[in-house]
Amino acid sequence: MKVRGLFALTALSFALFSAPSMANECPSVLKFMKRKLNSQETVNLCDEYAGKTLLIVNTASYCGFTPQFEGLETLYSDYKDKDFVVLGFPSHDFNQEDNDEGKTAELCELTYGVKFPMFEPTSVKGDDADPMYRMLKAATGKAPSWNFNKYLIDSTGTKITHYPSSTKPTDAAFIADVEALLYE
Q: For residue 68, give the CATH number of its domain.
A: 3.40.30.10
> Is residue 67 included in any domain, yes or no?
yes
Q: For 7-34, what is the mean pLDDT?
A: 61
Quote the number of domains for the chain: 1
Q: Which domain holds residue 158?
A: 27-182
> Is residue 35 included in any domain, yes or no?
yes
Whether 38 contacts 70, CB under 8 Å: no
Annotated catalytic residue within 26, 46, 63, 108 = 63
> Is residue 163 included in any domain, yes or no?
yes
> Is residue 11 included in any domain, yes or no?
no
> Is residue 3 included in any domain, yes or no?
no
Whether 72 contacts 55, CB under 8 Å: yes
- Can you give the C-alpha Rg of the chain in angstroms? 19
> Is residue 107 included in any domain, yes or no?
yes
Rounded to the nearest integer, the mean pLDDT of the chain is 90
The CA distance from 109 to 116, in Å, is 10
Q: For 110-123, what is the mean pLDDT?
A: 97
Residue 10 makes CB contacts below 8 A (sequence gap 6+) with none
pTM beyond 0.95: the answer is no
> Is residue 162 included in any domain, yes or no?
yes
Q: With bands split at pLDDT 50, 70 and 90, how would you rate the model's confidence at 25? A: confident
Q: What is the pLDDT of residue 4?
A: 52
Residue 52 makes CB contacts below 8 A (sequence gap 6+) with 83, 84, 85, 155
Residue 63 known to be catalytic: yes
Q: What is the pLDDT of residue 21?
A: 39
pLDDT at 58 over 50: yes
More confident residue, 110 or 23: 110
In one-letter notation, the amino acid at residue 135 is M
> Is residue 59 included in any domain, yes or no?
yes
Encode pLDDT of 102-114 as tens digits.
Answer: 999 999 999 999 9
